[in-house]
Structure 1
């Protein structure tokens, strides 16, 4: 939790609740810049709004030019797509929509699970240039919220705020000289915690299959090679220097053993399996409750 005497700026954006805590209240200009950054990200990447940049590619093939920060998003997705053999992919949107997680939130499948097209068959993404050779439903939600957390942290730093906590409903970025203690939500009981961790000039992100679940065993973490929900893991937490990396790896831990990720990424982790067993890295400096 942030310090009791800190000021808080709360708002909703990209389908989630945000809270930005700072020692002193943010001025109107900074608040406006933060809200504009969220709005710009949403109008670029949201598959839930027909006027977004990526939604154009769901209607017809073509080429779009993404913002400069898309290059970092590409690099993380490309690495995890390769490491997971296609299980983690930015093309998972069509599979999610088929299961009912669509712009209308119908939450009713209209067919059996189906894998999305393979990246190498339909998508060319180099830096900010993205070309689809057939209509595709892009969904960068497995890493995008984390990147947006980082972008808001950048806004705060560029406006002279060196101490802050950006909290996007559990995906967090901390900066400053006063660490904060964060409770880790129990995957089966949101009112309880399974432990705590100290966040100190780093990011903490989580992924849980119970957060967006509907129907009979359906949730938002899918295997891109099958289009089916993953049921072996129920919750993950990761800590890394950036929220982009932490967010992406929190999802990747549903699909990959941590050792595969640790060869290419510097992070610590905690994972809870569907059996309730918790495993964690030796660098995950948290405390689990018994």
Structure 2
């Protein structure tokens, strides 16, 4: 998790340190105490917590891949914290609480497993998946009957921004909203990059709030366009980006290791030296 901001405030009156009991009710009470007494927790909103929820889900995935029990317990706890935190905030708004969330989950699990709790017999996981999809479709029809709008792209997958972008584009393509070849996607990407370049401030000029909002929009258009190029090439934009991230970390680690052999740290180096070592890292990759 991100470290809490350092804020100078009068100390919280001592009320005793709670025990780690492993009980959900005690965890909920602890969260309520943090909301009352912690300056950082006090100022959070459901929207401000979104990046943390996404980050913690990814960190859990990494911990499971590493198969380290202590890391997994810690990351599962961090994911649970996000659930508890959101529930506390919504409870404060008088909308619902943790018991409502648990009951909704229980109802969903029971409803989507008729082969477990009713007389239905499904013989393999493929049949279970097909029945699950049928039940989800029925749930959507019920939502529509209750007046909840359903648009054609609402069924696209959740996930990271890259995953959602590719899913939305794929679904739109199935509905006929797409270029025949990759040329149109590339031209659109170049158009978006040109629009971004037009509003980038000169070096040393910090954008104001209005320009930052415009830059964010134009940058998002560029990323979306690049994802579209990946899709047209039958590539997974998320996987491609993760490959790049791991490659960058590996090369930067090479720079750090080479500097250490010279008795230097990253802080002792400059961009010219690091760039030369970056090129050496690329040559090292090709020779490995």
Q: TM-score range by the shorter chain?
A: under 0.3
Structure showing greater radius of gyration is: 2
Q: Relative contact order: is structure 1 or structure 2 higher (C-alpha 8 Å, sep ≥ 6)?
A: 1
Which structure dedicates a bigger proportion of its chain to strand? Answer: 1
Which structure dedicates a bigger proportion of its chain to helix? Answer: 2
